[in-house]
Amino acid sequence: MISRTTIDKVFEISRLEEVIGDFVQLKKSGSNFKGLSPFTDERTPSFMVSPAKQIWKDFSSGKGGNVISFLMEHEHFTYPEAIRFLAKKYGIEIEETVQTDEQKEKASERESLYLVSEFARDYFHDTLLNSDEGKAIGLSYFKERGFTDETIEKFKLGYSLNQWDAFTQNAIKEGYSISYLEKTGLTIVNADKQFDRFKGRVMFPIHSMSGRTLGFGGRILTNDKKQAKYINSPESDIYHKSKVLYGIYHSKQKIVKEDTCYLVEGYTDVIQFHQLGVQNVVSSSGTALTEDQIRLIRRLTNNITVLFDGDAAGVRASLRGIDLILEQGLNVRICTFPEGEDPDSFARKNSLEELTSFLNEQSQDFIAFKASLLASETKNDPIKRAETIRDIVVSIAKIPDVIKREVYIKECSRIMDISEEVLFNTQAQILLKEQKDRGKKVQQPTQAFEVVPKEPEASSKVDRQFELERKIIELLLLYGVIEEDFEEVTIEANDEGEIGYKQEVIKAKVFEKIYLDLQEDEIEFANEGFKELYFEIIDHYNREQDLKLDQFINKLQPEKAETITHLLMEDERYNLHGWNRKDIFVKDKKFNISQLVNETILNLRRHLVTQKINDLSMGFKENESKDKNIRLNNIVDYITLKKILSEKLNRVL
């Protein structure tokens, strides 16, 4: 197990905005950062990061927490995995306590698959560099491709010996279970025989965005037509081909910095670009582009440039991928290399300056590219020309942004020499058909000035006590040690038995004021989660007389840490919409802390008194016994008390 000292050091050194910035494109928003949710499919920012509090909140999915909870949610790490990831990122040495056999047995199967994959990565890499066969065949191949030692090390390129079970036997010898070797696809088990899947191939490890080894791509170096040139690891619990992009781990920071991503087809395309200096590049690994892969890019940038080689047939077949990118709301450009060239070969033959110049000058907006490509195929055939125009409009209709659609329609009209009206009508027909195909109710056009009644929405009942208890926890967390002047309200009866109240001003810290008031009225929290948090916070204040939010949150259980995050980040929601830019300014709570505390406690008292009146009234109706007068007097007293509290709150009874 990881020692408490290491965990504390990880929390102390880690910076939330830096860690999340590796996965999500963040932009400054006041004292915070905002970005697109990495958990939902959205086009406007709802993800907020607070460097001061070291917490994050995703308003679209409801998730939130600290740096560890983000890695556990986003990368599906276990708690120890997240700690190890951060320790590695910040160069912290991990101290471990001795694990029992029982703890070792509880290691997750998922972690075991990762460990097997990482062992395989290191084994294949070592075989490439240190075995005679690896150096003669694998290393020679990579050197012929122009890869340097640094590049080979960076991407952990490797080689699998041309023997039936060399890797498998070595892995078993090192203590790895044949079950996990089979589940990762590294070993094929057939009855009582075991074979290396990647026998005689150069190896390309495939990493997650966080750098964990998910699977492998293997290329055969012989001309054996009976075997596929490239094979990939099969699907497993850790490797899903449609959700992975080769090179994303090594490219993510550059993609965010450059705010654009180059999308290529092969492993060597990515590696060759990196070696030359263009590092914001990823590959779909030779498969058809998927929505999950596009969303992975969209976490980092809204701009994609798709790079095609000079094979016209291949370009034509890849146009569907462009439509998928458009449908996800991204901006897409296309760059085609000269005939006979691909990104790998072009990068080998040119300098960094020549490559970047070519990419900048030859990249076309998708509409111009698609129009020129399809128009060249139609020549003077009017039927094919009409089909081409419709094909382009179908692509434009995929774009979710209405303004962008109109701009592209106008551009298509100019390029294809056809009226905008015809194109807009065609687009409307396409959108209408898509709505019907999806089973959506198509809204009929209404007459001018016709009022369409809005369908009533089902209202949900607000749990008033829950909200007030929630507010008390928030006040304790944000302002607990702040000292304020509070108006103290004392309720008392005079000589005639009439209930009234007197006021005096006292100076106290917020946590003292809340604690004493709740103690005096013997008020207990109804929500068990808030009740536990309340006593933990009060206990912390009594011991430390201070509360550093990030340190306090980091020592809580994940569920409690998430609850606190929701409380503290809720008021940051307005920052997402840029209200200040619209001259709408939200009043800072700090100007009214004493008033806010007093009102919250008085409201809680009033709510509990109302509940008591209701309970007594129900009992009064049902009970005809001799204590009827006692109940009636109690109800009158509580109504009087409620009236006093309402007057103090300036509320109508």
pLDDT digits (tens, 9 = 90+) for 297-338: 988 889 999 998 866 556 666 677 899 999 988 999 999 999
As a whole number, mean pLDDT of residues 153-166 equals 97
First to last CA, the chain: 59
Q: Is the pLDDT reported for residue 178 higher than 80?
A: yes
Contact (CB, 8 A) for 1 and 103: yes
Q: Is the pLDDT reported for residue 605 higher than 90?
A: no
β-pair partners for 503: 489
pLDDT of residue 8: 86
Q: Is the pLDDT reported for residue 195 higher than 90?
A: yes
As a whole number, mean pLDDT of residues 355-361 equals 96
The CATH number assigned to the domain with range 4-89 reads 3.90.580.10
β-pair partners for 303: 331
Q: How far apart are CA 256 and CA 247, in angstroms?
A: 14
Give the predicted TM-score (pTM) of the model: 0.69
More confidently predicted of 633 and 599: 599
H helices within 106-192, ranges in order?
A: 109-130, 132-133, 140-144, 149-154, 166-173, 178-183
pLDDT of residue 574: 58
Q: How confident is the model at residue 577 (pLDDT cuts 50, 70, 90)?
A: low
Tokens describing residue 631: 């109940």
Q: What is the DSSP string of 295-337?
A: HHHHTT-SEEEEEE-S-HHHHHHTHHHHHHHHHTT-EEEEEEP
Q: Give Cα 611 distance to the centre of its chain.
A: 42
pLDDT of residue 48: 92
| 236-249 pLDDT tens trace | 999 999 999 999 99
Q: How confident is the model at residue 288 (pLDDT cuts 50, 70, 90)?
A: confident
**CATH class given for the domain over 248-437:** alpha beta
Contact (CB, 8 A) for 209 and 215: no
For the ranges 68-72, 134-138, 429-433, 638-642, the maximum mean pLDDT occurs at 134-138
pLDDT of residue 492: 65
Angle made by CA atoms 63, 74, 579, in degrees to the nearest 5: 45
Q: What is the DSSP string of 243-273?
A: G--BTHHHHHHHHHHHT-EEEESSHHHHHHH
Q: How far apart are CA 66 and CA 17, in angstroms?
A: 10
For residue 551, give the H/E element and its range.
helix 549-554
As a whole number, mean pLDDT of residues 131-150 equals 97
Calculate the CA dihedral of residues 421, 423, 429, 434 and round it to 10 degrees: -140
Q: Is the pLDDT reported for residue 585 higher than 60?
A: no
Superfamily assignment of 108-239 in CATH? DNA primase, catalytic core, N-terminal domain (3.90.980.10)
pLDDT of residue 427: 92
pLDDT of residue 584: 47
| 41-97 pLDDT tens trace | 788 888 999 888 889 999 888 888 899 989 988 887 878 888 989 998 999 998 877
| 522-554 pLDDT tens trace | 788 888 888 888 888 888 888 887 888 777 888
Q: What is the percent of the chain where pLDDT is above 90?
A: 38
pLDDT of residue 653: 43
Q: Whole-number mean pLDDT of the chain?
A: 83
Q: How far apart are CA 334 and CA 281, in angstroms?
A: 14
Lowest mean pLDDT among 102-111, 412-421, 469-478: 102-111
Q: What is the percent of the chain where pLDDT is above 70?
A: 82
CA atoms within 13 A on the CB side of 33: 22
Q: Give Cα 149 distance to the centre of its chain.
A: 35
As a whole number, mean pLDDT of residues 596-621 equals 78
For the ranges 73-77, 169-173, 339-343, 388-392, the maximum mean pLDDT occurs at 169-173
In the chain, domain spans: 4-89, 108-239, 248-437, 464-648
Residue 32 has phi, psi (to 5 degrees) of -115, -175
Q: How confident is the model at residue 497 (pLDDT cuts 50, 70, 90)?
A: low
CB atoms within 10 A of CB 527: 16
Q: How far apart are CA 155 and CA 250, in angstroms?
A: 8
Q: How far apart are CA 354 and CA 347, in angstroms?
A: 9
More confidently predicted of 98 and 290: 290
